[in-house]
Amino acid sequence: MNTIRNIIFDLGGVLLPVDYQVVIRAFEELGVSDAAQMYSQQAQQPLFDQLERGEISGGEFLFELKKKMPSVSETDILKAWNAILGQFPSNRLELLLKVKQQYRIYLLSNTNEIHIRQFLADLKYNNGVEDFTSFFEEVYYSNETGFRKPEKEIFDLVLLDNNLNASETLFIEDTEHNVRGAVQAGIPTLWLNIHEGDTIENYFDENGMLNITNQGAVIFPNQ
């Protein structure tokens, strides 16, 4: 960890609490019987991939979802889709500011225009944050890049865009197949097992320096 100079953070699950079960239940309450098969952390139908790659707009996404629940208003569909988003803990904003003093930091998220809009509005309302991008050197949202994790291209984009050495970079992610994708791209990756109660706060000291006592938490290329 002494060689790490750059840190790439995932957003949902790592910094921003998200709950896939909440959004699944919200869709089920709207009458979608196969919501768990339609969308989950492990897999999702192509419609959601298209939204996260920016191949379709938020309006087109809602139009397609409404076909599955024609009697439900777009407002209620939107509310159900945004139900996955939790409130950004203010202490993590403070942590990011400290980490930024020690490392070059970046954000890389599989997300979409609907969730970004809602997340930023919530962040402004609850935390008074006007410019979330200012916490990072660069922010990469999948819908703006045309790629999504675990595709190698999106990791290569961040590295090449910022002239980063992969071996000097740590990626922090909570989804297993995205962890594997980053490792295959040559980036050491900290797998944050949030389902076992793991949190980002466990891996930084009070000054924002990495403090990883359990080296097994980090997966290295060729491991």
Do 68 and 123 lie in one domain? The reply is no
Do 132 and 212 lie in one domain? The reply is yes
Domain that holds residue 183: 6-18+86-219
Do 13 and 29 lie in one domain? The reply is no
In angstroms, rounded to a whole number, what is the distance separating the alpha carbons of residues 198 and 148? 24
User: DSSP 3-state assignment of 162?
Assistant: coil
Write the CATH number for 151: 3.40.50.1000
Return the ∠ at Cα 200 (arms to 4 and 145), rounded to 5°: 70
Q: Is residue 1 part of a domain?
A: no
Q: Pick from 82, 105, 121: which residue ends a domain?
A: 82
Sign of CA dihedral 163, 167, 173, 178: positive
In angstroms, rounded to a whole number, what is the distance separating the alpha carbons of residues 70 and 64? 10
Q: Which residues contact 142 (CB under 8 A, 6 or more apart)?
A: 52, 53, 54, 109, 110, 111, 112, 148, 149, 154
Do 193 and 124 lie in one domain? The reply is yes
Q: Pick from 37, 61, 82: which residue ends a domain?
A: 82
Structural domain total, the chain:
2
pLDDT at 38: 81
Encoded tokens for 138 = 């660069």
pLDDT at 1: 62
Q: Pick from 60, 82, 104: which residue ends a domain?
A: 82
Do 11 and 26 lie in one domain? The reply is no
Do 126 and 167 lie in one domain? The reply is yes
Do 196 and 153 lie in one domain? The reply is yes
Do 188 and 201 lie in one domain? The reply is yes
Encoded tokens for 150 = 């675990």
Q: Is residue 191 part of a domain?
A: yes
In angstroms, rounded to a whole number, what is the distance separating the alpha carbons of residues 63 and 150? 27
pLDDT at 44: 76
Beta strands 218-219 and 189-191 are antiparallel
DSSP letters for 51-69: HHTTSS-HHHHHHHHHHHS
Do 93 and 200 lie in one domain? The reply is yes
pLDDT at 40: 65
pLDDT at 42: 62
Do 24 and 125 lie in one domain? The reply is no
Do 31 and 13 lie in one domain? The reply is no
Q: Is residue 168 part of a domain?
A: yes
Do 66 and 156 lie in one domain? The reply is no
pLDDT at 169: 98
pLDDT tens by residue, the chain, 223 residues: 679 999 999 999 999 999 989 999 999 999 988 888 888 666 578 899 999 999 999 999 999 999 989 999 999 999 999 999 999 999 999 999 999 999 999 999 999 999 999 999 999 999 999 999 999 999 999 999 999 999 999 999 999 999 999 999 999 999 999 999 999 999 999 999 998 889 999 999 999 999 988 766 899 997 5
The structure's pTM equals 0.94
